[in-house]
Structure 1
Amino acid sequence: MDLQDQLKNLFPEHVSEEPLSESEETNDLWLQDDPIICKYEKRKGKAITILEGYTGATEDFKALAKDIKKALSVGGSFKDDKIIIQGDYRDKIMQMLTDKGFNVKRVGG
């Protein structure tokens, strides 16, 4: 008898709520036909990755920035309709975006 069965015996009237899977949470973003531009720059000697070209709602792009920063455990910001990520993470970011269904274009380097 596993833990779930024991809990069902103790609380027979409890209805368990299943958490949303990650794919259901991320499908709220608007997918566009034009590619998101992923480019690499150096500012003050430090590498940064810039994402631009999203034509959806600003809130969706901010949520996407938060997801990327959280997944990579890096700092970054959202300014002037661009996501700026500290460090060179182009390959990882492009893989994440293509997994979510976005079309991504690599620019520079």
Structure 2
Amino acid sequence: MAKNKSKLVYSTAPDWQNRPQEQDNEAPQKQGTVYLQRVTKGRGGKTVTLVKGLAGDLKRWKKELQQVCGAGGTVKESTVEIQGDHRQKIAEYLKQKGMKSKMAGG
């Protein structure tokens, strides 16, 4: 015997309009310390700045940091990579935004 799996299509409940609407915006995440690391291994001798620990939309962060540094970049896993050694510029930019940053590695 098959179960009747009906989905509610119309509701006469008076509170259906008062339900909170789902928002596309993410809930603000608490921002911790951001780590800035300079790396050359596995990149043919070219220097890359790794930015770890950013909360929120990493693609948006990548775009902002590329504009600040005047360099290319990418997002890999939970890290933003900016071409070149731009740790100082990024640290100053994050400080202006009220965020803590630390230099990590060589």
Residue 68 of structure 1, aligned match among 65, 68, 77 = 65
Q: Report the count of equivalent residues.
A: 77
SS in 2 for 1:85: strand
Cα contact 1:31–1:101 (8 A) shared by 2: no
1:66 match: secondary structure: helix
1:49/1:87 contact within 8 Å kept? yes
Unaligned runs of 5+ in 2: 1-27
Conserved 8 A contact 2:34-2:102: yes
Query: TM-score of the superposition, structure 1-length normalised?
Result: 0.64
Q: Which residue of 2 aligns with 1:52?
A: 52
TM-score, normalised relative to structure 2 = 0.66
CA distance in 1 between counterparts of 2:29 and 2:90 reads 17
List structure 1 runs of 4+ shifted beyond 6 angstroms. none
Q: Which has the higher helix share?
A: 1
Cα separation, 2, equivalents of 1:31 and 1:70: 24
Q: Give me the identity figure in percent.
A: 31
Structure 1 gap ranges (5+):
1-28
The structure with more radius of gyration: 2
Query: Paired residue for 2:36, among 35, 38, 43?
Result: 38
